[in-house]
Amino acid sequence: MSLKDYEILSKLGEGAYSIVLKVRRISDNKIYALKKVRLSRLKEKEKRNALNEVRILASIHHKNIISYKEAFYDDESQSLCLVMEYADAGDLFQKIQFYQKKGTYMSERFIWGLIIQMARGIKALHELNIVHRDLKSANVFLTTDGKIKIGDMNVSKVAKGCLEHTQTGTPYYASPEVWKDVPYDFRSDLWSFGCVIYEAICLKPPFRAEDMQSLFKKVTKGEYIPIPRTFSQDLHQIISHLLQINPSNRLTCNQILQLPCIQSYSIDIIGEETENLLLKTINFPTKISKVIENLPRPNFETTIRANNKSLVLPQMGTKSTVIRDISVPPLKTHQKRENSEKSLDFLKEYRKIILKQNYGALQLPKVRYPFQNIASGKCINGKAQKEFTIVPRIKSEKISRKPSTNRTIAIGYKPSDN
C-alpha cells in the first residue's frame, strides 16, 4: 500500500495541513478520494485527530456515511494517507452555490430526501456515541444516484458517558451551548443538522452577522428568519424543533424518522440496517511503524465475473452486505455449504440402510474360487480343483418382421391354421 498504487487525477480541496485528491486506484481502475495529512507539521492533538478520523470511518458501515477504504503511511511525503469513497456529485455547499447563481430554490422533494438520509447517517453516529461536531453543508456529500453521505470526521469525538467541553466546528452551524462554552452532547449535532437543512431550503445559513459578537447574540437567542411560505408547514415544524435553544427540546434523529410526514417521503429511499462496531483508539507512538501496524485493514470491493455476470464482493471479512447482480444466484455461505455437505452424507447413509433392508448385504464377502485351466489340464497352485464345464453362450433367437403383415414371428415358428 503506497501512493504508487494510485493515479492522481485532480485536487478536490486543501487545508492548512492536509490535501484531498481525486485518485484512480490502478488495480481496480475505480475512483476514490485520498486525503493526505502531513504529520510532521502537526501537534500531538492534531495527530490524534487524524488517527481518530481513520478509526471512526473504519468503524461505520452505512450507506449515508462516506465509507473507509484503506489507510497507510507514505514515507516520501511523511504523510498519513486516508483513502475514502468518492462522492461523484460534489457536496451540498456546491449545490447551494449553484442554485444561488440560478436564482431558484431546490425542490421540496430533494429537501425531504436530504433530511431522511442525513438523519439516518447521524443516527448511525450517535448509536456509537460519536458526536460529529462539525456538521455543515460542505461536509454533506452527494452522488449522482441520489445518495446523501456525511463525511469529514476529523474533529468527531467519541463521548464516553460525559459531556464534551471543547469549542470546535464552524461558527455558522455551532450550537448555543458550544458558543457559550458549556458542556454539550450529541444534541449539539441536531442543532447543526437544523442549520444545514435551513441553508438547503433558503440557500443561506439561518444565523448570519457582520462580526462574531453579533453572531453570538443571534445564535444564543435563536433568532432567524422563517423559511419561505412556498415550502410546506411540515418543513417549518422540523426546522423549529431542531433549532431549539434548550437541547432537550430538539428532535432526535429517531424521532424525525418516525414522523408521519417522513414516512410518506421515505418510501422511495431504501434504508439499510447495519451492524457497526467502534474500533479501539489508535494511539500515536513515537515510532511511525507502530502506527502502521495499528491501522485498520483495507475495505475495498473486488469485482469478479461469473457466468458473464458481475459480482461485487468485499475484499476483507467485513459485515457489509454482499452486492451482486440480481440475475445471479447468491453464493452459498460457509454455513449453508457445510449443511449441504452434511445432508448429502446423510442421504448416502440412508440409501445404504434401505438397500441393506431390501436387497441384503451390500458388500458380499470376497471368496477366491479355485480355477482349473481346462485347456491345459493343469491345476492352479498344485491342488486338485473341481472341474467346470464351459458351455458356449446360447444366442437369442432373432426377431424379424414380415413385410406383408404387421405380425411379429420367431424364426422356426409356424402359426397355427386357427
* Helix, strand, coil distribution of the chain in percent, nearest 5: 35, 20, 45
Identify whether the C-beta of residue 238 lies closer than 8 Å to the C-beta of residue 231: no
134 belongs to the catalytic site:
yes
Maximum distance among all Cα pairs of the chain, rounded to whole angstroms: 130
Q: Three-state DSSP class for 400?
A: strand
Mark 165-184 as b/e (b = at least 16 C-beta within 10 Å): eeebbbebbbbbbbbeeeeb
Say which of 5, 91, 134, 181 is annotated catalytic.
134
Q: Where are the beta strands (DSSP E) in 273-314?
A: 301-306, 309-314
The answer to whether 414 is annotated as binding is no
Residue 45: its H or E element: helix 44-59
Please, which residues have CB within 8 angstroms of residue 343's CB and are 6 or more apart in sequence?
none
Q: What residues contact 391, with CB distance under 8 A and at least 6 apart?
A: none
- 405, three cell numbers: 403383415
In sequence order, the 6+-apart residues with CB closer than 8 A to the CB of 370 are 379, 380, 381, 383, 385, 386
> What gap in Å lies between CA 151 and CA 135, rounded to an integer?
9
CA distances from 190 to 169, 176, 293, 323 (A): 13, 12, 36, 32
Distances (CA, A) of 415 to 88, 208, 384, 401, 411: 92, 118, 52, 14, 11
Q: Which amino acid is at 69?
A: K
By annotation, the residues acting in catalysis are 134
Annotated binding site for ATP: 35
Annotated binding site: 35
